[in-house]
């Protein structure tokens, strides 16, 4: 997989940075406040690594470009972690000119979309943080109206906390989909690459887990610091606080609480319907916050209908149950107990099938469902469809010669005639 054709283009109010990674383009747009080294391919190496490991392709960085010597030394450890979690990610070689980076770095930044984890980081490190970084094309490909609304809300928080907002637009979500990857596999490397590109002296990535319960993820305390360069220190923070603890801190800052955005479904509002909104409703209730504005009011009886995916989300529910019981909130305790019982019953039946019946029911289910209908993005933990997804990706990859970015992403920037460096 070749990394080539890096372009840095200065527009009136923003910078375009792009490169070709194999047959696919990857691009970023952001505020025109940073000096970008057009010969530094470090951020594109970070984005190329996980897709290349999936395909089993070595990476070759065009010789006119260089990458961080420190990052290049850490690449082996990063590959060890991903390969251990999911062997579908093969260890590969990288051919690149390395350099000890010594550019003047900007200040301290933190990724922020208005959620609980990012808001907690903002408040805990408010003396250190100078920049809040908001991205379009990461979780969502927002249209212009939605993106502007998101920027307006986040800018309000930035202003109230005396921070500068960096808005980043990228086709990362499109780039990842070309390789059949789940966002959970490489979203940490993308966040790190933006830190590297902006050359922030220090950058925080907010944790969703806690020290006592760590789960494999593309952003992880064992991984994020490894993406650091000589001039950019990347830190995975917030593991000392669970969701309730974080909201207790946020509760003391009404302006930040009022701008909290947690929704999976709609970047403009907190819908009150999705599981993440309901999960946040429970956290708020446990912090004695009962007037948070969801678009659709949430009732306690809705809690037992929450959709939970995987052990990490189940852990949230179990923590909620213990806290609700401690606070003697009987109605909430009962709904959480029903939800936990339902989930653990399913897990028990799955384990019984696996250990007592040699997965006969699971295999029967798979025969009834076409593999093509059951394939999902490859993540950091193995799944039986990974091989089929990978083979399909390899076939499509071989057919591509020079793919053009076709994703429609809303922008707040003004396009103009430019000159490139």
Residue 221 belongs to a domain: yes
Give 3's DSSP letter: E
My answer on whether 116 and 38 are in the same domain is yes
CA quadruple 376, 381, 383, 389: dihedral, nearest 10: 50
Q: Give the pLDDT mean for 183-187.
A: 91
Task: Say how many domains are in the chain.
Answer: 2
Q: What is the pLDDT of residues 80-97, one digit of tens each?
A: 999 999 999 999 999 999
My answer on whether 87 and 148 are in the same domain is yes
Distance CA 324, CA 206 (A): 26
Q: Which of 312, 314, 323, 274 is CA-nearest to residue 294? A: 274
Task: Show the domain range for 179.
Answer: 2-242
Mean pLDDT, all residues of the chain = 92
Residue 417's pLDDT is: 47
- Give the domain-ending residue among 356, 388, 414: 356
Residue 374 belongs to a domain: no
Q: By mean pLDDT, which of 117-131, 271-285, 367-381 is the weakest?
A: 367-381
Half-sphere exposure of 24 (CA within 13 A, CB side): 23
Which helix (H) or strand (E) covers residue 20, if one does? strand 14-21
Residue 99's pLDDT is: 96
Query: By 3-state DSSP, what share of the chain in percent is helix, strand and coil, each rounded to 5?
Result: 45, 20, 40
My answer on whether 231 and 83 are in the same domain is yes
- Give the domain-ending residue among 242, 276, 302: 242
| CB-based burial label for 302 (10 Å; 0-12, 13-18, 19+) | middle
Over 90: is that where the pLDDT of 414 sits? no
Name the band, by pLDDT with cuts 50, 70 and 90, for residue 416.
low
My answer on whether 295 and 160 are in the same domain is no
Strands 14-21 and 2-10, sheet pairing: antiparallel
My answer on whether 345 and 237 are in the same domain is no
Beta strands in 94-216 (DSSP E): 94-95, 97-99, 106-111, 131-136, 164-170, 200-206
Residue 285 belongs to a domain: yes
Over 70: is that where the pLDDT of 420 sits? no
Beta strands in 93-212 (DSSP E): 94-95, 97-99, 106-111, 131-136, 164-170, 200-206
Q: Are 42 and 74 in contact (CB under 8 A)?
A: no
Residue 146's pLDDT is: 92
Tokens of 38: 């057009």
Partnered with residue 93 across adjacent β-strands are none
Distance CA 26, CA 19 (A): 6
Q: What is the pLDDT of residues 381-410, one digit of tens each?
A: 999 999 999 999 999 887 777 788 888 899
My answer on whether 86 and 147 are in the same domain is yes
Residue 171's pLDDT is: 96
401 Cβ neighbours under 8 A, 6+ residues apart: 23
Distance CA 155, CA 164 (A): 8
Q: What is the pLDDT of residues 289-341, one digit of tens each?
A: 988 989 999 999 999 989 888 777 888 899 999 999 999 999 999 999 999 99
Greatest C-alpha distance within the chain: 68
Residue 413 belongs to a domain: no
Residue that the structure tokens 């955005």 belong to? 261
Q: Are 410 and 145 in contact (CB under 8 A)?
A: yes
Give 224's DSSP letter: G
My answer on whether 193 and 284 are in the same domain is no
Residue 23 belongs to a domain: yes
Q: What is the pLDDT of residues 203-229, one digit of tens each?
A: 999 999 999 999 999 999 999 999 999
Distance CA 138, CA 135 (A): 6
Sign of the dihedral through C-alpha 249, 254, 259, 264? positive
Residue 419's pLDDT is: 38
Name the band, by pLDDT with cuts 50, 70 and 90, for residue 373.
confident
My answer on whether 284 and 231 are in the same domain is no
Give 213's DSSP letter: B
Helical pair 360-368 and 330-356, crossing angle rounded to 10 deg: 90
Sign of the dihedral through C-alpha 269, 270, 275, 279? positive
Cβ count near 212 (within 10 Å): 8
My answer on whether 167 and 49 are in the same domain is yes
Cβ count near 377 (within 10 Å): 17
């Amino acid at each position: 997989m070749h990394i080539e054709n890096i372009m840095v283009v200065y527009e009136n109010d923003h910078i375009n940075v792009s490169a070709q990674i194999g047959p696919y383009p990857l691009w970023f747009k952001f505020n025109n406040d940073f000096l970008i080294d057009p010969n530094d391919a470090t951020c594109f190496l970070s984005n190329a690594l996980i897709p290349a490991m999936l395909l089993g392709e070595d990476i070759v960085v065009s010789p006119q470009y260089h990458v961080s010597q420190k990052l290049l030394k850490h690449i082996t450890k990063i590959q060890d972690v991903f390969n251990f979690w999911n062997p579908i990610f093969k260890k590969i070689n990288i051919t690149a000119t390395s350099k000890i980076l010594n550019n003047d770095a900007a200040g301290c930044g933190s990724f922020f979309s208005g959620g609980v984890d990012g808001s907690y980081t903002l408040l805990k490190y408010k003396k250190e943080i100078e920049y809040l970084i908001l991205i379009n094309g990461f979780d969502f490909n927002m249209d212009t109206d939605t993106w502007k609304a998101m920027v307006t809300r986040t800018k309000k928080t930035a202003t109230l906390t005396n921070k500068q907002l960096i808005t980043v637009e990228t086709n990362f979500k499109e780039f990842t989909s070309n390789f059949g990857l789940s966002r959970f596999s490489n979203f940490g490397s993308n966040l790190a690459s933006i830190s590297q590109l902006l050359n922030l002296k220090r950058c925080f990535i907010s944790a969703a887990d806690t020290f006592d319960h760590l789960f494999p993820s593309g952003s992880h305390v064992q991984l994020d610091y490894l993406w650091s360069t000589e001039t950019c220190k990347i830190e995975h923070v917030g593991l000392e606080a669970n969701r309730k603890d974080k909201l207790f801190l946020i509760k003391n800052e009404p302006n930040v609480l009022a701008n909290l955005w947690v929704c999976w479904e709609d970047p403009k509002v907190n819908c009150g319907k999705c599981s993440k909104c309901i999960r946040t409703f429970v956290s708020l209730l446990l912090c004695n916050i009962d007037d948070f504005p969801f678009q659709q009011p949430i009732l306690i009886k809705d809690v037992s209908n929450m959709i939970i995916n995987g052990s990490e989300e189940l852990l949230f529910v179990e923590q909620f149950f213990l806290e609700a019981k401690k606070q003697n909130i009987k109605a909430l305790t009962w709904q959480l107990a029903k939800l936990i019982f339902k989930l653990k019953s399913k897990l028990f039946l799955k384990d019984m099938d696996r250990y007592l019946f040699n997965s006969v029911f699971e295999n029967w289910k798979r025969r009834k469902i076409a593999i093509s209908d059951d394939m999902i993005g490859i993540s950091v933990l193995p799944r039986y469809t990974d091989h089929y997804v990978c083979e399909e990706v390899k076939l499509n990859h071989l057919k591509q010669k020079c793919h053009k970015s076709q994703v429609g992403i809303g922008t707040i920037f003004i396009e103009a005639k430019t000159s490139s460096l």
